[in-house]
């Protein structure tokens, strides 16, 4: 414990994180998501009264809050963006991922020049499993090399690398070792590169000896860990929970979040409590005369429509911040067409969809079909 940071950081914490496929990222992606969110707000909540009824706001402050939300969506619709080389990108030929890493770095560099980037940004690499570790570290190396070459050795503010599907402490230590090598190569100050933990495997909640390894993960990061994100869908799938029951409010998820909160209390590590596939779009409307559920309001950011509800006065669950992870597309997502609402692929009600992958044997076949990018959500996280 003495090696850990025993204080809450006073630094700003992003209220959400948008995960978008790396192949779709552009320097102005955040602005485009904000425009889509404003368009959705105009369509479904054109005035303060309608918005207040949808999210359960008291009538008194509704007008002021509504005006501030619109201003926020015009000024800074996305606070944190994660360029995703994992679930939002999928497994592709090495040459293709190499090219994507370089092109995404070029877009980040362009965003730094134009000032279009959100205040927090980073990448999610693939897991450091035996099969994928080489690919993950190569993507990290190519992305950073191309970015630093274009920016003359500068990284964007609040840059972080997200490590998914951690099962052993050695994976965190391996990423830190890679960071140290990259810092030496590119003459960056020691500790410049920071990481986030994805808590989405049973082994990250309890190891084979019956201990919670989260504290060991933070120790292995050697002062570089800034956040831990709970991954609802990978975690529940790993517990053989059927797709129909994979949701934020499942008791298994409540238990995992409580373990995270206890294990990381006082470390200064930010917590995110997960994502949801329930979104404030026509497919998941509130009941007639009722408000959106807490899960719909706090939806993980995968669709631009969530930007509006994300910018309302924040809510918390058990002291853990609102969700920050983009949910994987599932069979409950729909895509609009000239023939109405259908389910040919998981597009999450938008023109951009994430490439889904199989979550469990109960997942329908449509979730395994290739999408066209990340969903118009997160502002859909």
**In the 8-state DSSP scheme, what is residue 248?**
T
DSSP 255-281: HHHHHHHHHHTTTT-EEE----S--SS
Chain centroid to Cα 117, Å, comes to 16
Is 158 inside any structural domain? Answer: yes
Residue 121 located in a structural domain:
yes
Domain that holds residue 194: 18-368
CATH of the domain at 81: 3.20.20.60
Residue 2 in any domain: the answer is no
CB neighbour list of residue 266: distance below 8 Å, 6 or more residues apart: 4, 6, 7, 8
pLDDT tens profile 296-345: 454 444 444 455 555 555 443 333 333 333 333 333 332 222 333 333 33
59-83, pLDDT tens digit by residue? 899 999 999 999 999 999 999 999 9
CB 125 within 8 A of CB 163: yes
How many domains does the chain contain in total?
Answer: 1
Residue at 194 is within a domain: yes
* 329 in Cβ contact with 233 (< 8 Å): no
Mean pLDDT of the chain: 79
* Region 120-132 average pLDDT: 97
Cα first-last separation, the chain: 33
Residue 377 forms part of a structural domain = no
Whether 249 shows a pLDDT value over 70: the answer reads yes
- Whether 70 maps to a domain, the answer reads yes
Q: Sheet containing 80-84: which strands, arranged edge to edge?
A: 18-21, 80-84, 120-124, 159-163, 195-199, 225-230, 270-272
pTM, entire model: 0.75
């Amino acid at each position: 414990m003495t090696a850990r940071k025993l204080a809450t950081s006073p630094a700003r914490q992003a209220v959400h994180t948008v995960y978008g496929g790396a192949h779709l990222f552009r320097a102005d992606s955040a602005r485009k998501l904000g425009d889509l969110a404003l368009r959705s707000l105009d369509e479904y909540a054109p005035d303060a009264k309608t918005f207040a009824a949808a999210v359960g706001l008291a009538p008194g402050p509704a007008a002021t809050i509504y005006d501030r939300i619109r201003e926020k969506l015009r000024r800074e619709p996305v606070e944190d963006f994660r360029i995703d080389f994992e679930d939002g990108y999928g497994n592709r030929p090495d040459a293709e991922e190499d090219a994507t890493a370089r092109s995404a770095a070029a877009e980040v560099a362009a965003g730094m020049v134009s000032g279009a980037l959100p205040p927090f940004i980073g990448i999610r690499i693939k897991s450091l499993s035996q099969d994928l570790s080489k690919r993950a570290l190569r993507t990290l190396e190519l992305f950073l090399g191309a970015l630093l070459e274009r920016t003359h050795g500068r990284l964007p503010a609040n840059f972080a690398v997200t490590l998914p599907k951690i099962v052993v402490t050695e994976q965190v230590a391996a990423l830190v070792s890679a960071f140290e090598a990259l810092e030496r190569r590119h003459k960056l100050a020691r500790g410049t590169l920071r990481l986030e933990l994805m808590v989405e495997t049973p082994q990250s909640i309890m190891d084979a000896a019956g201990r919670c390894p989260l504290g060991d993960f933070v120790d292995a990061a050697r002062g570089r860990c800034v956040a831990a994100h709970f991954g609802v869908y990978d975690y529940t799938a790993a517990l053989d929970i059927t797709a129909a029951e994979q949701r934020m409010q499942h008791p298994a998820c409540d238990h995992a979040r409580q373990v995270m909160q206890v294990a990381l209390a006082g470390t200064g590590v930010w917590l995110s409590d997960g994502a949801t596939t329930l979104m404030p779009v026509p497919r998941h409307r509130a009941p007639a005369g009722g408000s959106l559920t807490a899960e719909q309001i706090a939806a993980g950011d995968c669709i631009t429509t969530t930007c509006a509800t994300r910018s309302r006065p924040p809510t918390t669950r058990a002291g853990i911040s609102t969700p920050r992870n983009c949910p994987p597309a599932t069979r409950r997502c729909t895509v609009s067409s000239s023939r109405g609402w259908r389910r040919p692929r998981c597009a999450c009600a938008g023109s951009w969809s994430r490439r889904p992958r199989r979550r469990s044997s109960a997942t329908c076949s449509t979730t395994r079909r290739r999408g066209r990018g990340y969903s118009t959500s997160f502002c859909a996280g």
